[in-house]
Structure 1
Amino acid sequence: MATGAMLSTRSSTLCQTLRQLSHARLLSSTPAASQKEGWFNKLLVRKIEPTKESHSRMLSDKEIIFELQTHNLKPGTSPSYLKNYEEYVKGIGSIFANEKVHPELQGSWTVVVGDQDQVVHLWKYAGGYKSIDRANSIFASDPDLTKLIQDRNQYLRQRSTQFLLPFSFWPLVTPREGGNIYEIRSYFLKPGTMIEWGNNWSRAIHFRQANNEAFGGFFSQVGRLYNVHHIWCYNSLAGRKEARENAWRHPGWDEVVAYTVPLISEMHARILVPNHFSPAQ
């Protein structure tokens, strides 16, 4: 009888304890479920539904392709290289003077913070890949351009190029007057996350247009894939700092950061100054 009473008492105590734990879990989980703006929920990458339309068509509505050329120079060769490249730009302008569709230099910069002895050029091709095919054919057949390219090689230690599409929600790339510095922020995304990136940045770009600082936003099509480049224009490094701090004062900017950080596998930033022949000064 004593043993049975003891077991009954323990059983009653155990049931009561389980009810208390269950009630405690209910109380603790209910607020978390309702707090949709919590930090943990912001880190969750939302599911992207299957689509029959290509990512490029969903993110870019323009038949325009940009080429980003990155040239790493041998130390001490920058003046000779830039003189060569300026002649190359003039040569392209002369060859395509009577062409309705032709390559257009949008910006040419030298990196001053980040990868040293590096120069970056941004070209625009209206008319899609057909205009690129035609331009490449002309480049290869023009002896003056061919010689300039051959002479340029002596100044290079490495080079790369990418074909990019512009995000439809970014402003159009336009020339800028002098006195600016530029920043290229390059993001290497996890495969399959480009749509999610676009969904978030279509909202975020509105937070960064107060001082016309958004120069261009692009994603890669040929070259290293799942690569995004955001190019910003500032009047100074101090102006850059102020603009970036102002973004955090806008409600919703923190959400964009929280949602997009998990999409990134690698990123880096470079500060650039315009070369004297760049349309973006």
Structure 2
Amino acid sequence: WQCQELQKYEIIAEVFNRHNQPRAWISTGPQQQHGTFYEFRTYYIQPHLNAAFLKLTTEKIHLRTAHSELIGYWSVEYGGLNQVFHIWKYDSYAQRASVRAALAQDPNWIEQYISKAMPMLSSQDNEVTYLVPWSKVQKPPKDGGVFELATFQMKSGGPAVWGKTFQAAVGTHTGSGYAHAVGVFHSEFGLLNQVHVLWWYESADQRAATRHTSHEDARVVAAVRESAAYLLSQKSKLMFPCAFSPIK
């Protein structure tokens, strides 16, 4: 009887500990202080229709921006062919739902753009992201140049786990003048535990030269090494802004 009672209490203690241990490892980290989020959209265009899609979008994008705020719209040059990448800002999920409902009832949008554009695409993808707590959207110091979307697959836990070291890695690049960070975002819907850094450079050649120099900077090397302890994989795309892109 005493053995049975002891086993029972051990089981109760184990359950209690399991439900009361720190949960940072599954946390999304410091929560947003407001509802604003950014939808990342990637459209994959049929190769022979790439030019036609970009022409149509340039002519008709005003039908879409009449409904919600466009942050930026880019054509991917390296790291993925026949793609466009765009970012839309929403104040809440309710606002996004109302925008999508309004678009579905907008005859100009449907007839002049969406009915023509959709057959040009092979697929689409979207992701909901939030700015990390220490970042904000900052336009480049001047128009022109190129943008790099660097995507990092991090270990589980979100900014609460990798935030400080990742902030240090980004900070050494921006603080040393190696690059301009337009924004740092982490995923909420889509592939989780991703963080995206949208960088701006004056040109592709300037980016190459800057990276060569920064890789010899002991401050950058040390910060990146610490952040890499939480990194699983990474990828990047080099993009050119479209003429109508608010950030360009």
TM-score class, shorter-chain normalisation, is 0.7 to 0.9
Alignment partner, residue 115 of structure 2 = 150
Identity among equivalent pairs (%): 23
C-alpha contact (below 8 Å) 1:166/1:218 kept by paired residues:
yes
1:137 to 95, 101, 112: 101
Alignment partner, residue 50 of structure 1 = 23
TM-score by length of 1: 0.71
Cα deviation per residue 1:175-232 (whole Å; 9 max; x = unaligned)? Answer: 6643211111111223235433212122233222226611111111112211221110
CA distance in 1, matches of 2:65, 2:36: 19
Q: Aligned partner of 1:139: which letter?
A: L
Alignment partner, residue 216 of structure 1 = 183
CA distance in 1, matches of 2:120, 2:136: 35
Inter-CA distance 263–243: structure 2 relative to 1 (3 Å threshold):
same
Cα deviation per residue 1:134-187 (whole Å; 9 max; x = unaligned)? Answer: 211211221222332232111111210111101122242336643211111111
CA distance in 2, matches of 1:114, 1:221: 23
Q: Which moved more, 1:184-193 or 1:240-249?
A: 240-249
1:269 to 229, 236, 243: 236
C-alpha contact (below 8 Å) 2:27/2:160 kept by paired residues:
no
Inter-CA distance 193–124: structure 2 relative to 1 (3 Å threshold):
closer
CA distance in 2, matches of 1:211, 1:247: 7
Q: 5+ unaligned residues in a row in structure 1: which ranges?
A: 1-48, 97-102
1:128 matches 2:92 = yes
If you compute each CA radius of gyration, which structure gives the higher value, 1 or 2? 1
Helix, strand or coil: the match of 1:135?
A: helix
Q: 5+ unaligned residues in a row in structure 2: which ranges?
A: 1-21
Inter-CA distance 201–61: structure 2 relative to 1 (3 Å threshold):
farther
Alignment partner, residue 65 of structure 1 = 37
1:278 to 234, 245, 248: 245
Matches within 5 A, 1:1-281: 50=23, 55=28, 58=30, 60-94=32-66, 96=67, 103-125=68-90, 127-147=91-111, 148-174=113-139, 177-192=142-157, 194-209=159-174, 210=177, 213-248=180-215, 252-281=219-248
C-alpha contact (below 8 Å) 1:74/1:156 kept by paired residues:
yes
CA RMSD of aligned residues (A): 2.7
C-alpha contact (below 8 Å) 1:70/1:159 kept by paired residues:
yes
> Aligned residue pairs: how many?
225
Displacement of 1:265 after TM fit? Answer: 2.5
CA distance in 1, matches of 2:178, 2:219: 19
Cα deviation per residue 1:86-108 (whole Å; 9 max; x = unaligned)? Answer: 344201334x4xxxxxx211111
Helix, strand or coil: the match of 2:47?
A: coil
C-alpha contact (below 8 Å) 2:186/2:196 kept by paired residues:
yes
Q: Aligned partner of 2:49: which letter?
A: T
CA distance in 2, matches of 1:231, 1:187: 11
C-alpha contact (below 8 Å) 2:75/2:240 kept by paired residues:
yes
Displacement of 1:54 after TM fit? Answer: 5.2
